[in-house]
A = this chain, B = another copy of it.
Amino acid sequence: MKQLKISRPVMERLPVYLHYLKSLPEKPEYISSTVISRALRLGEVQVRKDLGIVSGAGKPKIGYGTLDLIHSLEEFLGYNSTLHAVIVGAGKLGMALYDYEGFREYGVNIMAAFDADPAKFGVTSTGRKILPMDTLAEFCRENHIEIGIITVPDNHAQEVCDRMVDAGIPAIWNFAMHQPHAPAHVRVQNENLASSLALLCGSLRQQLE
């Protein structure tokens, strides 16, 4: 597998290239690393290195075939093969993620949300299913769920994580501030908004002092 050696910053930039290329209103036949690097304000050497991993080198003085490059990026990122996800916690953040159409473009299909509150069970106006927590394990096994998204309050994150692990989910995307523990074979990615804010505010407060 090529991906094994890809660093985190590179993996984070690949969707940005893809998004840029797909958002070009008129796609040129070829596009150069110079054009891409200027548009995204990235170093040209970096762009060339990143894209080289995915698609090989561009043609000298011409660049990359635009459609080929889009295809290579999608292939590399696995957007052509769908992963199945569930959300646990049908609060505002959970439902915002559930309604976000963009995830399909990234090859992730959110199949249902789960909640402990019976008042929330049912189908929303946008056609999203909210199911009782009791049915999580069965649903995950029947639908081969690969990603569990945690959007419950902090104090429930560990319990929800445990239930996802028991249901056989191999990857967890956690939006709670509490970072849950999972066995080594389960990958947990924490999306910690407080940490992001600390980064942004830290440098801002320096500036303001």
A residues neighboring B (CB under 8 Å)? 1, 3-4, 6, 8, 11-16, 19, 23, 40-41, 77-78, 81, 83, 91-93, 95-97, 99-100, 102-103, 106-108, 146-147, 154-155, 170-171, 173, 177-179, 181, 187, 189, 191-209
Q: Which of B19, B77, B187 contacts A177 (CB 8 A)?
A: B19
Residues of B within 8 A of A41 (CB): 181
A19 in contact with B201 given A96-B93, A209-B1 (CB within 8 Å): no
Smallest beta-carbon distance A178→chain B, Å:
7
Are A201 and B107 in contact (CB-based, < 8 A)? yes
Which B residue sits closest to A207, measured CB to CB? Answer: B170
When chains A and B are docked, how far (Å) is the Cα of A206 from the Cα of B171? 12
Q: Is the CB of A206 within 8 A of B1?
A: yes
Cβ A198 vs Cβ B11 within 8 A = yes
Contacts A40-B179, A154-B23, A187-B204: A15 and B198 contacting too (C-beta < 8 A)?
Answer: yes
Number of chain copies forming the complex: 2
A93 contacts across to B, CB distance below 8 A: 93, 96, 100
Partner of A16, one of B11, B192, B197: B192
Asked whether A206 and B154 contact (CB < 8 A) given A171-B200, A201-B108, the answer is no
C-alpha gap A196/B170 in the complex (Å):
16
Q: Which residues of chain B are near A14, meaning CB under 8 Å?
A: 198
